[in-house]
Structure 1
C-alpha cells in the first residue's frame, strides 16, 4: 500500500476540504515517513459541521427506536463488509498489525454497534402513576441534542464507535474530531454511516488541538465527550463549564496488577505481559503496574522478563506479520516521551529488560520491565502509555491495597489469586472502575467501561453508556376525578 492518502472532512454527507486549505501530515509510525495529508479545520469548518448536525437533529430526534435500530444494524453490516479495508487503513495510520486489528478490534466494533442498536429499543424508567392525588406523572428519556466528541489516537476506529454509536442510538447527532495523527478511518466510518443515517447525523472535522477546542467550546454542542489524557480532560471540563455543557470523560489509567503467591504464576506472567504490551502499551487499561508479593517477587520478575523478551514486535516484518503482537508507538511525540520517561528510572531501580529504541526506523520501543521501584517514583505515579511494565513488591494485604489505590488514576485493576474471598474483598476495596480477577483487559459491550478520580467520569459501553447520552424529563398531567 504505497498510494498517497488525502483525507477530507465529512460534513452533511459529503467529503470536503478545510475552508482555508490548511493541512496536516499523516505519518506511518512503522517508518516515520509521511504518506498522506488531512485537513486542519478552522472555525468555519466547525461551524458548518455543527450547523449540519443541528439541522439533522430536528429530524433524527423524532425517529422511532425501531428506525434507529434498523439504521444502526445497517451501519454494522456495512462495517462488517469492509473489515479488511478498514483494518488495512487503520494499520497503516496507527502502525498496528493488520491481523491483530482484524481479530481484536473489528469484530468488537461490529458487536458494539449492534448492541447499541438493541439498546435504542430498551429504555427503562419509572412507570407512570399517580404520585400526587389527581395527577399522573411519567418520565420521558430524550436525546440531549448535538454532541461534540474528540477521539484518541490509540484506538481511532474503536473509540469512534464507542462514542458515536450510543449517542446516535439515543437520538442525538454528532460532530466528531479524530486525533490529528489518526484521522483516516473516522472519515471512512462516516461515509458508511451516511448511507443509513442520512446527512448530518454524523459529521467529521479533522484538525489539531485548536480544532478540538473549537469543537468542545462550540455553543451548539449540548454535551462533549473526550477520550484522552488527564490534562486534556481537565481542559475540556473547564471549557465546557463556561456554557454548562454536559461532559463525558474517559481519561488515563495506571492499572495496578496485584499478584499473590498462590496465583498461577506462569499464567499470570503470560496474561499480564499480553495485557501490558498489547498495542505497545498504548491503552489506558494496560497492565502496566505490577505489585507482586515479596515471597515470589524474583520468580515472577524472571517469568515476566522471559515473556517480554519472547513477545514479537512488527519491526522486522511489518504490519502484515501475523505473529507480531507489539506495534510501534503511534507518533514521534509519544515515542520521545516514553523514552524520556524510561530515562527517569531511579538508581534504586533496575531495567530488567528492554528500555531502548528498537532499530533505526519508525517509533519502536523494546518491551520493557523495570523492577525495584518505590511507590512515590515518577514511573509508578504517572501513565507511561508505552510498552513498559513496572514491578513493586509487597508483604501484606493492607500494603498492597494502599499502593494500588495510591495514584490519581482509578480506571482499571486486576487481582491474581486462587483465594476467592481475598479476590472479592479486594474487588470491594480497590478504587477503580473495573476490577478483573485472574485476567486483565477483556471488555464486553454489555458491561460499562469508565473510571473514578482523575480517570474521568461517565461510562462507555453498556446500558449505562447509552443512558449517558440521554436526558430525563418529568411530565405531570392533572386528571379530573
Structure 2
C-alpha cells in the first residue's frame, strides 16, 4: 500500500510545512508507519491566519443564500468522493470501513446540509420600537477568523461539526486536526476548496505546539476545541490574555441508569454494541452502567456474556465489531487503568490486549467498583465498561452525577415519570431515554462542568459562531 502524504491547505493551496518538518503517521491496526504529515510551525500558522483574515472580508459579506449554495455543493462533493474519504479515515484510525461508511459518513453529509439550511434561518428579536421614537434592530454577525482543533476519534465528523456552522455564519477557519489522524480532514479541505474562495477554510497539521501557536495568535477571534479536559484547560489559559471566545467540547464519562422495570434483554443488546463502538473512543460512550440492585446480577451476567462476543479487528476483518485504539499511548493509558484496579474490583469479561500487531484491546467489563475508584472518576476512552449497583432513584442520581464530567447520560425504564425526573436531575448536556448515543443535526451536542461549554450541531451551535449587535435608529 502506498504511503499517505498529507499536506497543509492554506489559502487554497496544498503545502508542506515551511520548515520541511514532518510527523510520521502510524497505522493503529499494524503499529507501522504508513505516511507523514507536516509538522507546522509559527510561520505556517501565520500564513494560514493571514489567508483566513484576507478571505473574511469577502466571505462575511456573502448572502446566506450564497453560503448555503456553497455548503450544499460541498456536501454533494463529499458524497461523490466517499471512497477516498473512507480510505483516508480508515488508514488513520483503523476503524471498520463498513461502519464508517454506514454510520459516520452519512452523518457528516447530513451535518453539512443541515447548516446549509440553517444559514438562512438565524433567529432574533423582531425589529420594533421598544422605547418611543427609536427602532431597535438586532444583527447577528460572524465573529471573524476561528481557530478549530479537532480530535482523533472521529476525525472527519468532528471537523465537519466545527467547520460547517462556522462557515454558515460567515466566519473563516484555520483548523488543526489531531497529529495522528489528519488525512481525511486535509482531503475535506481540498474538496471544499472547489466551492469556496481561497482562504475561507485552511487546515494546518502539526502537534501541540502548532495548536498552541494557533490559539495564542492575536488575529484569532474564537477558539473551538473538541478534546480532553486537560486540553480544554490549556486552551482556556492560552486564550485568556486576548479574551478570545471559547467553544469547548471536552471529555465525557457517561452514566447509564438501568432500573428494575427496564427491558433488560433490549438494554443488554443495545448497550453492548454502543459501549464498545469505535473501541469505546467516544466522549458519550456508555461507560458507567448503574443497575438497580434487584436486577444487577442478571444484567451483569448477560452483559458480560454479550460483551465477550464483541471482538476487535483490522479494517479488512469483516467480523470485527470495532478497531484498534488510536495509538500506543492510548493503549498504555487503558492498560494502566486496568492494572491499577483496586482489589475489590473484578474483571468479568475481557481485560487483555491480544498478542498481535497494532493497538487492539478486548471488550472489557469491570464489576464491583466503588464511586471513588479511579476507573469510575476518570474517562477511560477505550473498550472498558464498569457496572455498579444502586439501591433507589436517589442513589442512582447521586452516583450518576458524582464525577467531574457532565456530557451525556441515559436512563432505561418503562416509568415515564421517572424518566422525566431523571431528565431534570441528571447534570449533563444530553439525556437519552431507552437509547444511547444517537445524535441529530437539529439538536445541540454539548456538556457542563468539566465537559466544557458551547454546543455543536443545531441552531444553538450555529449561534455560537455569531456575535450580537444592537442597532438603534
TM-score range, shorter-chain basis? over 0.9
Would you say 1:396 and 2:395 are equivalent positions? no
Q: Secondary structure at the match of 2:437?
A: coil
Q: In the alignment, is residue 446 of structure 1 matched against residue 442 of structure 2?
A: yes
Q: What are the Cα deviations for residues 76-127 of structure 1, in whole angstroms up to 9, with x where unaligned?
A: 0000111121112101110101000000111000000000000000011111
Paired residue for 1:140? 139
**Equivalent position of 2:218 in the other structure:** 219
1:331 pairs with 2:327: yes
- Give the 3-state SS of the residue equivalent to 2:431 in structure 1: strand
Deviation at 1:353, TM superposition (A): 1.1
- For residues 126 and 296 of structure 1, what CA distance do their matches in structure 2 show? 51
**Conservation of the 8 A alpha-carbon contact between 2:147 and 2:174:** yes
2:269 corresponds in structure 1 to 270
Q: Which structure 2 residue ranges, 5 or more long, are not aligned? A: none
Measure how far apart 1:360 and its partner are. Answer: 2.2
Q: Partners of 1:125 and 1:470 in 2: how far apart?
A: 12
Asked if 2 retains the 8 angstrom alpha-carbon contact of 1:41 and 1:211, the reply is: yes
Partner deviation per Cα, 1:184-221 (whole Å, 9 max, x = no partner): 01110000111111210000000000001011111111
**What are the within-5 Å matches in structure 2 for residues 78-89 of structure 1?**
78-89=77-88
**1:341 aligned residue:** 337
| Match of residue 418 from structure 1 | 414
Determine the C-alpha separation between the residues in 2 that align with 1:224 and 1:89.
Answer: 26
Per the alignment, in what secondary structure is the counterpart of residue 198 of structure 1? coil
Does residue 378 (structure 1) correspond to residue 377 (structure 2)? The answer is no
Query: CA deviation digits over 1:16-73, x for unaligned, max 9?
Result: 0101111100000000000101110000000000000000001000000000000000
CA distance, structure 2, for counterparts of residue 273 and residue 435 of structure 1: 18
Match of 1:48 in 2: 47
Q: CA deviation at 1:322?
A: 3.5
TM-score by length of 2: 0.99
SS of the aligned residue for 1:435 comes to: strand
Residue correspondences, number: 473
Q: Would you say the 8 A contact 1:248–1:458 is kept in 2?
A: yes
Partner of 1:280: 279
Aligned to 1:109: 108
**Matched residues in 1 for 2:456 and 2:138: separation?**
24
CA shift at 1:324, angstroms? 2.0
Tell me which moved more, 258-267 or 171-180. Answer: 258-267
Aligned-residue offset at 1:321: 3.1
Which whole-Å CA distance do the structure 1 matches of 2:200 and 2:306 have between them? 46
The residue number in structure 2 matching 1:409 is 405
Distance 2:343 2:87 in 1: 43
1:267 Cα deviation from its structure 2 partner: 0.8
Is residue 2:178 matched to residue 1:179? yes
2:203 — aligned with what?
Answer: 204
**TM-score with structure 1 length normalisation?**
0.98
RMSD: 0.7
Is the contact made by 2:312 and 2:361 (CA closer than 8 Å) also made in structure 1?
Answer: no
